[in-house]
């Protein structure tokens, strides 16, 4: 039996729990008061002290969880006056009586009104969509007008919205109208070596959320950097500023990578047990599917594409150890995390399971929070390892193999949905000249600059990978040939305006590009070959241009 259940309405469940808890608050406070009276009559009774402390501590924690802030606050004030290992003394009685009275008064103000706003649980793996640079606002503040103009133009070429200010008053007025995504702030104003950092520190002191600030200065000494850190500076750049490096920092602080929901297959011959586990994981934000007949597992592996398989050890027909060995013999699932959940407590048997393909072993019963945490951490590590294997070390883009896989998957989608698909192969012009004249570290910075430029200016659903060396492959779903050419020409022109810096020497780079589209070419190999041919045509025609490839051109 294979069961995939919809996740529960967690917010509705939480609201119901909150309402139930509210009705219990008066009784809980009454019990606390009764324990307190007993403790006053026997102040040396350690057992009663522990009972009283536990009751107040529990109310403080649970009240905070369900949004009853006043009740939680007064209960917490009592716990702060109760050392866990000491008995009550007469000196503490008056203070505790005062807060017990406040606690009683708070009941009518919170628990009966039932108007507490309770935010949904923050799931551990929510999906985030990357912001597009065109929607991001950057404030740049520097009293050096020439530098302000130069760096504004350079960063703007990466696609950001820029507002530049040469004085702090204009910056403050703009901040009242609109809060930017990032502030780039000079440290020195009017000869004051601390004014920039002090100004940001003052602003952050009255804000609920501090500004994301990058500081820059002609001075890079430890004292200046310390002031920047204390003002919540996320990065520090000594002048002269390298725009590409600044954009790299901006991208790091603002670019959120889309993360898919965690997917878990639960293999257990007991439907009651698998259903319980599924509910716990769903409440943690995961998607689950239950397999109650172990021999049916292979039927869902390929279609569900899990991040992790959780299975019982003892099951009919096929035990967990045998099933894990079957999974490990399949190349596609060699790295798939497998976690066993069983009542088995024998250490030798646990170690035996780990030696036959298991990654972790949890012993029943396991607390829900422990189960969700253990599975979350295992999936995070698995995805991290997978990402390292799938991406290029320098740029963080998909590597050669994975970008080709992306072409395959998007082509399959285009076939199914009868939509267009274009791919672009691009290569930096005269890149050997850059490496030879400026050094490979500078060449690496150019590659990273290109990466950031494309990340910020491509659409959310476009994908770029490093095909090899200075060659990149861009996948443009739902894009016909002429639209793809327009997109790539715009990117080519924009990247060509970016200045790259080595010491005091500025230089620019260009790229050539070839494009091919489906349905003109109907397989991944022919698409890539056609784009590659068009790229070489662009190179041979003089570089720094985009060439398209169609079947008619090849005839």
Q: Are strands 137-141 and 182-186 parallel, antiparallel or unpaired?
A: parallel
Q: What is the per-residue pLDDT for 203?
A: 93
Q: What is the per-residue pLDDT for 487?
A: 93
Look at residue 255 and tell me whether its pLDDT is greater than 70.
no
* Nearest one of 538, 465, 499, 209 to 553, comparing CA atoms: 538
On the question of a cis peptide bond just before residue 305, with omega within 30 degrees of 0, the verdict is no
Residue range 145-154: average pLDDT?
A: 81
| 376-382 LR contacts (CB < 8 Å, sep 24+) | 376/124, 376/125, 376/262, 376/284, 376/286, 378/308, 378/337, 378/339, 379/125, 379/262, 379/264, 379/307, 379/308, 379/337, 381/337, 382/307, 382/308, 382/335, 382/336, 382/337
Task: Report pLDDT digits (tens) over 513-530.
Answer: 999 999 899 888 999 999
Q: What is the per-residue pLDDT for 356?
A: 61
Task: Report pLDDT digits (tens) over 176-199.
Answer: 999 999 999 999 887 788 899 999
Q: What is the per-residue pLDDT for 114?
A: 37
For 261-314, the DSSP string reads PPEEEEE-S-HHHHHHHHHHHHHTT-EEEEESSGGGHHHHHHHH--SEEEE-SS
313 vs 266, residue with greater confidence: 266
Q: How far apart are CA 487 and CA 424, in angstroms?
A: 10
Q: How confident is the model at residue 281 (pLDDT cuts 50, 70, 90)?
A: confident
* Nearest one of 479, 477, 555, 471 to 514, comparing CA atoms: 471
CA 184 to chain centre: 23
Q: Are 338 and 375 in contact (CB under 8 A)?
A: no
Q: How confident is the model at residue 211 (pLDDT cuts 50, 70, 90)?
A: very high
Show the domains of the chain with their CATH numbers.
9-110 (1.20.120.160), 133-254 (3.40.50.2300), 263-389 (3.40.50.2300), 400-554 (3.30.70.270)
Task: Report pLDDT digits (tens) over 88-105.
Answer: 566 578 778 888 888 888
Place of tokens 């404030």: 139
β-strand partners of 463: 475
Residue ranges of E strands in 41-147: 137-141
Q: How far apart are CA 531 and CA 422, in angstroms?
A: 9
Residue range 255-275: average pLDDT?
A: 77
In the DSSP assignment, the letter for residue 15 is H
Look at residue 168 and tell me whether its pLDDT is greater than 90.
yes
387 vs 512, residue with greater confidence: 512
Q: What is the per-residue pLDDT for 192?
A: 83
Look at residue 424 and tell me whether its pLDDT is greater than 90.
yes
Q: Which residues are catalytic?
A: 470
Q: Helix, strand or coil for residue 226?
A: helix
Q: What is the per-residue pLDDT for 480?
A: 92
Percent of the chain predicted with pLDDT > 90: 25
Q: Helix, strand or coil for residue 415?
A: helix
Q: Helix, strand or coil for residue 237?
A: strand
Residue range 140-158: average pLDDT?
A: 84
Q: How far apart are CA 184 and CA 247, in angstroms?
A: 11
Look at residue 129 and tell me whether its pLDDT is greater than 50.
no
CA 146 to chain centre: 37
For 394-407, the DSSP string reads TT-SB-HHHHHHHH
* Nearest one of 106, 40, 41 to 73, comparing CA atoms: 106
Cα dihedral angle (222, 227, 229, 234), rounded to 10 degrees?
Answer: -100
Q: How confident is the model at residue 113 (pLDDT cuts 50, 70, 90)?
A: very low
The answer for 45, left when phi > 0, alpha when psi is -120 to 50, beta otherwise, is: beta
Task: Report pLDDT digits (tens) over 441-460.
Answer: 888 889 988 988 888 888 88
Query: H or E element: which one contains 535?
Result: helix 524-540
320 vs 265, residue with greater confidence: 265
Least confident of 55-59, 238-242, 341-345: 341-345
CB burial string 496-510: b at 16+ within 10 A, e below = eebbbbbeeeeeebe
Task: Report pLDDT digits (tens) over 356-406.
Answer: 667 777 876 677 778 888 888 888 888 887 777 778 888 888 889 889 988
* Nearest one of 390, 472, 483 to 424, comparing CA atoms: 472
Q: What is the per-residue pLDDT for 360?
A: 77
Q: Are strands 505-507 and 511-518 parallel, antiparallel or unpaired?
A: unpaired
Q: How confident is the model at residue 115 (pLDDT cuts 50, 70, 90)?
A: very low
- Mean pLDDT in the chain? 80
Residue range 188-215: average pLDDT?
A: 90
How open is the CA angle 326-331-335, to the nearest 5 degrees? 85
Q: How far apart are CA 111 and CA 18, in angstroms?
A: 10
Q: CA of 57: how far to CAs of 17, 60, 71, 369, in Å? A: 19, 5, 11, 20
Task: Report pLDDT digits (tens) over 7-44.
Answer: 455 445 546 656 777 888 888 888 888 988 888 888 77
Q: How confident is the model at residue 330 (pLDDT cuts 50, 70, 90)?
A: confident
How many CB atoms within 10 Å of residue 28? 21
Place of tokens 């607390």: 367
The answer for 91, left when phi > 0, alpha when psi is -120 to 50, beta otherwise, is: alpha
Residue ranges of E strands in 117-201: 137-141, 161-165, 182-186
Least confident of 134-148, 339-353, 406-420: 339-353
């Amino acid at each position: 039996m294979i069961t995939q259940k919809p996740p529960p309405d967690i917010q509705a469940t939480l609201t119901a729990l909150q309402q139930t808890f509210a009705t219990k608050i008066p009784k809980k406070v009454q019990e606390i008061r009764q324990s307190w009276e007993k403790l006053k009559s026997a102040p040396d009774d350690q057992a009663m002290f522990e009972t009283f402390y536990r009751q107040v501590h529990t109310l403080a924690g649970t009240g905070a969880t369900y949004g009853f802030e006043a009740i939680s606050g007064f209960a917490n004030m009592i716990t702060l006056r109760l050392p866990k290992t000491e008995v009550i003394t007469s000196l503490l009685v008056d203070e505790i009586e005062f807060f017990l009275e406040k606690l009683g008064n708070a009941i009518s103000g919170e628990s009966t009104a039932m108007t507490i706003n309770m935010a949904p649980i923050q799931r551990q793996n929510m999906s985030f969509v990357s912001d597009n640079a065109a929607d991001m606002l950057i404030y740049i503040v520097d009293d050096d007008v020439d530098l302000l103009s130069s760096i504004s133009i350079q960063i703007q070429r990466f696609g950001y919205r820029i507002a530049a200010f040469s004085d702090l008053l204009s910056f403050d007025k703009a901040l009242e109208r609109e809060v930017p995504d990032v502030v780039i702030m000079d440290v020195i104003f009017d000869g004051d070596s601390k004014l920039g950092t002090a100004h940001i520190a003052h602003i952050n002191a009255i804000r609920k959320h501090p500004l994301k600030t990058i500081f820059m200065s002609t001075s890079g000494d430890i004292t200046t950097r310390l002031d920047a850190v204390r003002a919540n500076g996320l990065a520090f750049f000594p002048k002269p500023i390298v725009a590409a490096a600044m954009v790299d920092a901006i991208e790091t602080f603002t670019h959120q990578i889309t993360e898919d929901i965690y997917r878990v297959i639960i293999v257990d011959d007991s439907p009651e047990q698998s259903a319980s586990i599924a509910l716990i994981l769903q409440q943690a934000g995961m998607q689950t599917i239950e397999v109650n007949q172990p021999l049916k597992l292979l039927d869902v592996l390929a279609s569900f594409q899990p991040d992790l398989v959780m299975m019982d050890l003892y099951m009919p027909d096929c035990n967990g150890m045998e099933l894990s060995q079957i999974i490990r013999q399949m190349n596609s699932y060699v790295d798939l995390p497998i976690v066993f959940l069983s009542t088995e407590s024998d250490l030798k048997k646990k170690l035996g399971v780990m030696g036959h393909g298991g990654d972790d072993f949890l012993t029943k019963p396991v607390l829900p929070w422990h189960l969700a945490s253990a599975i979350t951490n295992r999936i995070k590590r698995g995805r991290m390892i997978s990402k390292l294997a799938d991406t290029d070390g320098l740029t963080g883009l998909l590597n050669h193999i994975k970008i080709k896989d992306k072409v395959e998957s998007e082509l399959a989608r285009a076939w199914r949905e009868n939509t267009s698909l274009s791919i672009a192969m691009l290569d930096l012009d005269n890149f050997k000249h850059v490496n030879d004249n400026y050094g490979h570290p500078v060449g690496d910075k150019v590659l990273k600059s290109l990466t950031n430029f494309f990340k910020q200016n491509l659409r959310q659903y476009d994908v770029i990978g490093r095909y090899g060396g200075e060659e990149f492959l861009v996948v443009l779903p739902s894009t016909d040939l002429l639209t793809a050419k327009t997109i790539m020409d715009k990117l080519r022109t924009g990247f060509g305006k970016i200045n790259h810096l080595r010491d005091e020497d500025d230089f620019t780079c260009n790229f050539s590009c070839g494009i091919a589209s489906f349905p003109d070419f109907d397989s991944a190999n022919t698409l890539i070959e056609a784009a590659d041919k068009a790229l070489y045509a662009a190179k041979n025609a003089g570089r720094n241009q985009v060439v398209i490839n169609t079947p008619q051109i090849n005839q």
